[in-house]
């Protein structure tokens, strides 16, 4: 299984939806709150070119927003 990282903020509805999706499918992930961790916010910006969340990194494939189809394809499910 590819390593999954999600960059979030506490108030982001789509972040919660993505985390729920991962939980429902038994996908382990690392989560970084970019509102609290400036170095992770910079990392997210470097990876995606975006300031909006969620930014999801699945084995190096970057997905901006909660795109269920793209996430499923990247995970192979």
Q: What is the pLDDT at residue 64?
A: 97
User: Any idea which residue has 């910079």 for tokens?
Assistant: 42
**What is the spatial distance between Cα 64 and Cα 59, in angstroms, rounded to a whole number?**
14
Question: pLDDT tens, position by position, for the chain (77 residues)?
Answer: 789 999 999 999 999 999 999 999 999 999 999 999 999 999 999 999 999 999 999 999 999 999 999 999 999 98
Q: What is the pLDDT at residue 21?
A: 96
CATH 3.40.30.10 for domain 4-65: yes
Q: What is the pLDDT at residue 52?
A: 94
Phi (first) and psi of residue 73, to 5 degrees: -65, -45
**What is the spatial distance between Cα 54 and Cα 26, in angstroms, rounded to a whole number?**
19
Q: What is the pLDDT at residue 1?
A: 72
By C-alpha distance, which of 53, 3, 66, 65 is closest to 29? 3
Verdict on whether the full-model pTM lies above 0.75: yes
Domain ranges (residues) in the chain:
4-65
């Amino acid at each position: 299984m590819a390593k999954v990282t999600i960059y979030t903020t506490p108030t982001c509805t789509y972040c919660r939806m993505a985390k729920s999706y991962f939980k429902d499918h038994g996908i382990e992930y690392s989560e970084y709150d970019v509102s609290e961790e400036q170095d992770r916010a910079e990392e997210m910006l470097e990876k995606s070119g975006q300031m909006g969340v969620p930014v999801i990194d699945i084995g190096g494939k970057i997905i901006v927003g909660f795109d269920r189809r793209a996430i499923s394809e990247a995970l192979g499910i």
